[in-house]
Amino acid sequence: MAQTWLHGSDHLGYLMCIGGNTTPDPPTPDIPMSQVSITIDSAVLESFEKLFTTLKAQVENQPATVANNEPEELTPFNEFLSTELKSHFGEEMTQIVITNLKRSCAIGDYRYLIPTYKMLGEDLQKRQLLKLVSAVHRYKFGGYRNPEKYSLKSEIKYAKACPLCGELAGKLYDRLVKENLI
């Protein structure tokens, strides 16, 4: 039985080698890469070739992306939201709502929608729709990552049963499902 003491900077280790040579192997001579030969099985080579061909086809089939200054997740959702809200709020009010939602999201404070509620006056249906849109926007852009997510999710879900805003709530809920947020 051979025993070897290892001296480290922080501790003293004890290594016990049972039955074997304790001397290190002699160093291998440096061989230039031009003299190295590797034997590869033809099956392995074929599988690498297939993998490379598949990856190349996937890369070539991907569409080129266009640079956009606005975050990618905002643009499609806001366009969708704008299309859906025009029939309820009209062109001008829809633009105001979308602009205030973007500002509120960027700042992280949805109280900037309060003046928008006041602009709607006493129209309870539109105010309820704005409340729903605000809940969906808060959920999509961060609400699903914080403790508020459960109340926002239930608010969106129960709005589908509302006779006044159920159609819009259903479309917004389906959009969140398509984006794998619910």
Q: What is the pLDDT of residue 14?
A: 42
Task: With a cut of 80, say whether residue 115 has pLDDT above it.
Answer: yes
Could you read off the pLDDT of 16-60 as tens digits, one per residue?
445 555 566 666 666 666 666 667 777 777 877 887 788 777 777
pLDDT at 35: 64
Report the alpha-carbon angle 85-86-87, nearest 5. Answer: 90
More confident: 36 or 180: 180
Q: What is the pLDDT of residue 60?
A: 73
Band (pLDDT 50/70/90 cuts) for residue 63 is low
- Checking if the pLDDT of 116 tops 50, the result is yes
**Measured distance CA(88)–CA(125) in Å, rounded:** 9
Q: Average the pLDDT over each of 133-137, 140-144, 158-162 and give the range with the smallest value.
A: 140-144
SS3 track for the chain: CEEEEEECCCCEEEEEECCCCCCCCCCCCCCCHHHCCCCCCHHHHHHHHHHHHHHHHHHHHCCCCCCCCCCCCHHHHHHHHHHHHHHHHCHHHHHHHHHHHHHHHHHCCHHHHHHHHHHCCCCHHHHHHHHHHHHHHHHHCCHHHCCCHHHHHHHHHHHCCCCCCHHHHHHHHHHHHHCCCC
Q: Which of 3-7, 54-58, 142-146, 167-171 has the highest mean pLDDT?
A: 167-171
* CB contact set of 95 (below 8 Å; sequence gap of 6+): 82
Q: Pick the residue with more confidence: 23 or 170?
A: 170
Q: What pLDDT, in 10s, does the model give residues 127-137?
A: 889 999 998 88
pLDDT digits (tens, 9 = 90+) for 70-101: 444 444 788 888 988 998 888 999 999 999 99
Q: Which residues contact 12 (CB under 8 A, 6 or more apart)?
A: 5, 6
CB 100 within 8 A of CB 116: yes
- Residue 36: what pLDDT? 62
**What integer pLDDT is reported at residue 9 of this predicted model?**
44
Give the end-to-end CA distance of the chain in Å, rounded to a whole number.
Answer: 65
